[in-house]
């Protein structure tokens, strides 16, 4: 079961063990992580689950996997960065055990 650490924009962190196959977004919602709104529930329609993958994990987590994700990242409330992803699109596997994501100041 991969562990993900969510770091708020103020630097506070919260870690959670998340089932393989679940998304980083689902893990945040299931564990009460503030900073991931996920208004559309992971339907790739709102960009309120925007996160920044930690630089150390950027290669493993990958870049946006679809044109839809790239399009939605253009609508985020906070600035995008090279490691910006929608957390609903990062599926967890054992290879991502220890993943660290940083949350933007705002999702709206």
pLDDT of residue 45: 95
The domain segmentation of the chain, as residue ranges, is: 3-102
Per-residue pLDDT reduced to its tens digit, 40-65: 999 999 999 999 999 999 999 999 98
Is the pTM here over 0.85, yes or no? Answer: yes
Sign of CA dihedral 84, 71, 92, 30: positive
Fold of 3-102: Ubiquitin-like (UB roll) (3.10.20)
pLDDT under 50: residue ranges of the chain: none
pLDDT of residue 89: 98
């Amino acid at each position: 079961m991969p562990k993900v650490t969510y770091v708020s924009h103020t630097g506070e962190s919260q870690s959670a063990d998340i089932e393989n196959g679940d998304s980083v977004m689902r893990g945040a919602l299931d564990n009460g992580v503030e900073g991931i709104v996920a208004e559309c529930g992971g339907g790739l329609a709102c960009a309120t689950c925007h996160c920044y993958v930690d630089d150390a994990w950027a290669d493993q987590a990958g870049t946006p996997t679809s044109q839809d994700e790239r399009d939605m990242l253009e609508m985020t409330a906070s600035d995008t960065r090279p490691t910006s992803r929608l957390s609903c699109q990062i599926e967890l596997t054992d290879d991502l055990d220890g993943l660290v994501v940083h949350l933007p100041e705002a999702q709206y």
